[in-house]
A and B are shown apart, each in its own frame.
Chain A
Amino acid sequence: MNRALVLMVLAMACDKASGPAPVLARQSVCGTSATAETKKIYDGLKGECAGCHVAGVRSFFVSLGTFQALLVTDEKLVKPGDPDNSELIKLLEGHGTGVFKQMPIAGLAYADRASAGTAVNGVSMSDVRAWVTNLATQSRDPRPDPNAKVLVRMTGQQAQRTLYQQLGLDNSDFYIKAFEYDVEMAEKKDEDRYPLLGPDEMPAPRQSQTAERFYAIGGGSSTGQIRADSTVSPTYVLTMQQTSQAWCRFALGKTGNTALFSAGSMGTADEATAKTTIRRWGLHFIATQLSDDEVNALYTDLFVPLVADSNAGNAYVGLCSYFIRHPLWVFY
């Protein structure tokens, strides 16, 4: 349960990380920074423009940073020193040359609103023109956002395939052949094995629970018109907890399975075997060479208590599912 909580916390953190970055004007020597005059224009236009321009490739008014990075540095919109040939000016004055002839797109153009004093917190057109006239040559920062997320959660499809690979399992462990309209489908053997398969796979799962479990870990489907979701949702955490335990137990009991123990059968609970297994599984599951301290800690804190509570089989199931729910497994 504690491990699930860890992942829940991770879920919340990473969801936050994948959202919009803090609203700041990123100042960088690699791209032209927003000047005080630019900020004045941004603040003046925002009241009329932010209603629409807050999403997608024209999200100019999310922040001063996006105003600078997307609009001020786009010569198609703002030509430094040349307001008459700047599309921004043309749009604000109601004679745009593109799809839109004016901004805002309905009612009075901005220039007319500013003249009439009805523009919300508006700046005068003469100020906007002067700003373009005096604007220095602009450049964009070619580097990625330093605050962009670094980690990636495995997709539902990657998770399912990775579990097959690392646990030595395949479709035959979960399904038998069944035929619908003469086409082969994957008929689940036993729901207690927690079958999990994407509905776009071939043969496709015949039972809806199989696909639903796939959706629960964020898998997508074009036939089902469901987009993949790589957030660490509570549904993901709960499904992976159940699935990892069930699949580890099944894999450890599978005759001749060399994926987890090279001998093809589960090892004993003696200290040497357990530590060797912990070390091997660190590499196997999370591509990490565990230190002696880490091996000892896992043996003492995880493996031994499980053996004491039940038996070696349960201890290895716990160890196996621990690695599958480890952040180094979940993320890459």
Chain B
Amino acid sequence: MRAIWLIGALALLSCTGTIKGPPGTQGGGAGVGGGGATEEPCVETDPTAAPPNDTLSPLRLLRRTSLALRGVPASDAEQAALLAAGDEAAQRLYVEHFVDQTLASPAFYQTMFELARGWFMIPLIPNDADAPEYAPKQQRILEICPAGTDNAGAFVYYRDQLKDCTGAKATAMVEPWWAPGTMIRLVGSPANPNDGAVCEGRPRGTCGCGPHAVGCWYVKETYPGWAPFISFNPHGQRRLLQEESARLFAHLAWYDRPVTDLVLGDYSVGPVELQAALINTALETGALQLQTDDRWWQPSKFAGVPVDPLHDANDAWAWREYTVSERNPFLLADRSYKYDPRTQNDPVKGVPSAGVLTQIGFMGAYPRERVRAARALETFACEVLSPPNSQDFNPYISDPGKEGPCQNCHRRIDPAAIHFKRFARDGQAFEGWGGLYPIAGVGKWHWPGFEKGMYPFGHVPFTEWNHWYQANTVMTPISQTLKAMNPESIFIDFLPPDQTLLGQTSDGTIGPLGFAKMIVASGAFDRCVVRHLHQQVLGRDIDPALEAGYLDDLTAKFISKNRAIRPFVKTLTQSVSMGRGL
């Protein structure tokens, strides 16, 4: 029992930080845990400072490395291999090889995914009304006519079995997007055309599913409509959309891409079912050319596209790289698209895609611009939004961005929130399964008279726009005159030159991409990524107050490695800190 207390006391000493002395070079030493580090840019002058006596043995270093990079300790076989490697130097070399192997293994992809999922902590998109009503599934459910009916085996709309499974009905044979290489028979309403002014390419009312039944979906299930919604369904669209951001992060790590693509890129990853959400959102906005675009579901069209290491390349459920602006042309490919409603009368073309920041999972989970901005500042710039202790503020009148105690945070939130204004969710979709995701002022999304707040605009998002998008505020820097002349000018979504965000002025790019450019230019994004990777590998955050120089130094190293995760993680494993412990 004495031994237990002895070990406990030892651990106590270690974890209370009473170990003194210089940790030495960080991130520059050769070998895992700083073994063989020779660089010493900083030297303590205190001659009485005792060197830390906490260097991990090769076995313990292997354990720590394994837990940090793949979430479980080394196996018995790996430990035996380390011990068989030879002397301590050989054993440390074994750990270094182990790091290289682990960084190249799918387990590291999984670790990066789980790191990002916990870091971003994006919630599931809520249901609109009673579950499973949830907005992104903007497709109509199909069911199969039962045996014994006139149209047995054919596909009809859910709830239309009685109507369409019997008798002679319109019929269409299609290769459905969810089962490429097969043909199905649509009968009744699903087989109707869906073009023209009434249908606008959507399966509303008695309109049909369209080419390849892109406007519809089918899963064999006992309770129609639940498969995409339930959170514990690994193939459920709602869960896929929630995971997309973290999957993109892991994808960037796996393919050594710059992490800035997380917020600046025009690409993401997703299985076919996830991409269906983008396609149908774009169709709803008017991109009817997507009806015949089979690049997202036809395996021959996406052969060779990078996928996650846990799926085969042709697996429909693989986290496959896709170009966002191809799936939704209203999320623009143009990386510097500018639009100023104060000087332009032509309609805005769209909003530039911006990695996570324009994903449906992110936009749908956070329903309004200020919430999105606050979460984006916290998550991707490591901003801390805490209330002031005590201070006399000017009176609040109408603008939390510059009045009242709220300005303590909203001085930062509102210049960010201006970029997230155009995305909205509007009530229920045509069938009650989901809602609509308009991008205000884009495509068909114009609502003459919405500013009056009268029927049919007495609900969200119109009420929120009319209440919060007030002229002459930080978030809506337009004049009352302009607002009266052009009500859509309230959607101004770039930061005017007289405002800054994290010390940066905007280049005029609209939407979340404009925000992303500024958090990257400020350095906040890089520092935030470094802190989270440090947390993962070394088990603790970097204190931005006490370790500003350390954070600067590591951030410079991260940038010097083209912001690729694996090389930087390897650097962290080579730090002296990695080799210290119990």
Q: Which residues of A come within 8 Å of B, CB atoms?
A: 2-3, 6-7, 9-10, 13-14, 16-18, 20-21, 26, 28-31, 51-52, 54-57, 59-60, 62, 65-66, 69-70, 73-74, 76, 97-100, 104-107, 139-152, 154, 157-158, 161-162, 165-166, 180-183, 185, 199-200, 202-204, 220, 222-223, 225, 227-228, 230, 283-284, 287-289, 294, 297-298, 301-302, 322, 326-328, 331-332
A143, B19: Cβ atoms closer than 8 Å: no
Residue of A nearest to B7 (CB): A327
CB proximity of B404 to chain A, nearest CB, Å: 9
Count how many pairs of residues, one from A and one from B, have CB atoms less than 8 Å apart in the complex: 288
Cα–Cα, bound, A158→B54 (Å): 23
| In the complex, B503 has a CB within 8 A of chain A | yes
A59, B118: Cβ atoms closer than 8 Å: no
Cα–Cα, bound, A221→B582 (Å): 29
Cα–Cα, bound, A328→B60 (Å): 9
Residue of B nearest to A198 (CB): B114
A99, B415: Cβ atoms closer than 8 Å: yes
A162, B73: Cβ atoms closer than 8 Å: yes
- Tell me the interface secondary structure of chain B in the complex: loop
Cα–Cα, bound, A110→B525 (Å): 31
CB proximity of B406 to chain A, nearest CB, Å: 11
CB proximity of A277 to chain B, nearest CB, Å: 14
Chain A residues with CB under 8 Å of B382's CB are: 56-57
A107, B15: Cβ atoms closer than 8 Å: no
Which interface class (under 10, 10 to 19, 20 to 34, 35 or more) fits B? 35 or more
Cα–Cα, bound, A6→B581 (Å): 18
Question: Would you give 13 A-B contacts (Cβ < 8 Å), ordered by A?
Answer: A30-B43, A30-B549, A69-B549, A143-B23, A148-B546, A150-B14, A151-B539, A161-B71, A222-B117, A222-B123, A227-B118, A288-B60, A332-B60
A143, B232: Cβ atoms closer than 8 Å: no
Q: Which residues of B come within 8 Å of A, CB atoms?
A: 1-5, 7-8, 10-12, 14-17, 19-24, 26, 41-45, 54, 57, 59-60, 62-64, 67-68, 71-76, 79, 114, 117-118, 120-124, 220-223, 226-227, 230-234, 236, 239, 242, 246, 382-384, 386, 388-394, 407-408, 411-412, 415, 499-503, 524, 527, 538-540, 542-550, 552-553, 577, 580-582
Chain A residues with CB under 8 Å of B394's CB are: 106-107
CB proximity of B95 to chain A, nearest CB, Å: 12
A52, B549: Cβ atoms closer than 8 Å: no
Chain B residues with CB under 8 Å of A76's CB are: 503
Chain A residues with CB under 8 Å of B75's CB are: 165
Q: From the candidates B3, B20, B502, B549, name the one contacting A298 in the complex (CB within 8 A).
A: B3
Cα–Cα, bound, A55→B378 (Å): 13
B15, A220: Cβ atoms closer than 8 Å: no
Cα–Cα, bound, A298→B3 (Å): 8
A223, B499: Cβ atoms closer than 8 Å: no
Given contacts A143-B22, A145-B550, A326-B7, are A52 and B14 in contact (CB under 8 A)? no
